[in-house]
């Protein structure tokens, strides 16, 4: 059967793409952020995944406010990105894994998760930039399965439902008869708010508590309603729901391989973690 070898959670702010394009990795503003990723790449070289299940939220490139699915899963043979207006260069296409995608879709629908199935799908910076941070040569050695979560327009899925969605993904992967090694990636946040009276809001104490809970108490954030999470983490900070889906794919006991936290990047608190199941 397929095996989940670990999870990566990371931020995805568009400014990262421009920094990569301009070669600013050693710029004093960016260096603390980019310095967090060599250990991630070393870990990926060790675990050698075949597939990345990437949990993210779309920012209008594929879905917009008139059509915003709660959960959407890509089932295409290939995924491409396009210019979103941020000046980020488009990247080489990402290989899909239609067979595994359909298995995941059928398994989750069988557990009463209502999914939007995308046989054609474009992916935005929330998908492409984490991939570029993990494989900076942009020669993707993995197939990909996009899982898109609505963190944009209410009503949003609850933290508890997102955690359960991750558990359902884990059961689907465990039931897949192939021998693939799977990494699950959850992208977004951490705390930030880009608009309104609290524009620029960052809650370092909450972020660090949340990151610690990812390793030691994975259901901790599920005690909060969506409104409470917005209050604690900011309007866009609810992207941590993607982290909870990724965390739900792992067993309760995990090993924290690596973590990094840096503020600010484009008025966003940047979190990074690598977790793997206990042996």
Write out the two tokens for 4: 């989940």
**Which 3 state secondary structure label does DSSP give 227?**
helix
Catalytic site residue 209?
no
Instruction: Tell me which residue has tokens 């980020």.
Output: 88
Among candidate residues 12, 59, 103, 192, the one labeled active-site is 192
**Which 3 state secondary structure label does DSSP give 132?**
helix
Catalytic site residue 103?
no
Question: End-to-end distance of the chain based on CA atoms, in angstroms?
Answer: 17
Instruction: Tell me which residue has tokens 């600013």.
Output: 24
Return d(Cα 219, Cα 3) in angstroms, integer: 22
Among candidate residues 125, 209, 258, 262, the one labeled active-site is 125
Q: Are 166 and 221 in contact (CB under 8 A)?
A: no
Return d(Cα 157, Cα 141) in angstroms, integer: 32
Write out the two tokens for 207: 């972020």
Catalytic residue annotation: 125, 192
């Amino acid at each position: 059967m397929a095996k989940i070898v670990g999870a990566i959670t990371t931020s995805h702010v568009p400014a990262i793409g421009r920094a990569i394009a301009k070669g600013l990795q050693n710029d004093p503003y960016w260096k603390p952020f980019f310095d967090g990723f060599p250990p991630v790449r070393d870990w990926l070289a060790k675990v050698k995944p075949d597939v990345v299940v990437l949990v993210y939220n779309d920012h209008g490139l594929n879905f917009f406010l008139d059509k915003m699915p709660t959960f959407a899963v890509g089932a295409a043979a290939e995924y491409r990105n396009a210019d979103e207006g941020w000046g980020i260069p488009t990247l080489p296409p990402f290989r899909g894994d239609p067979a595994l995608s359909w298995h995941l879709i059928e398994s989750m629908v069988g557990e009463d998760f209502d999914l939007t199935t995308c046989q054609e799908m474009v992916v935005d910076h929330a998908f492409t930039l984490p991939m570029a941070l993990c494989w900076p040569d942009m020669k993707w050695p993995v197939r990909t399965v996009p899982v898109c979560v609505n963190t944009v327009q209410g009503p949003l899925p609850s933290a508890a439902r997102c955690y359960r969605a991750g558990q359902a993904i884990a059961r689907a992967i465990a039931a897949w008869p192939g021998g693939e090694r799977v990494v699950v990636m959850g992208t977004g946040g951490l705390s930030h708010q880009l608009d309104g009276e609290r524009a620029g809001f960052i809650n370092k104490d909450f972020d660090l508590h949340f990151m610690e809970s990812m390793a030691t108490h994975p259901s901790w954030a599920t005690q909060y309603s969506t409104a409470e999470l917005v209050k604690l983490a900011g309007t866009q900070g609810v992207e941590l729901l993607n982290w909870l889906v990724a965390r739900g794919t792992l067993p309760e006991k995990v090993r924290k391989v690596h973590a990094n936290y840096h503020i600010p990047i484009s008025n966003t608190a940047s979190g990074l973690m690598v977790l793997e199941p206990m042996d």
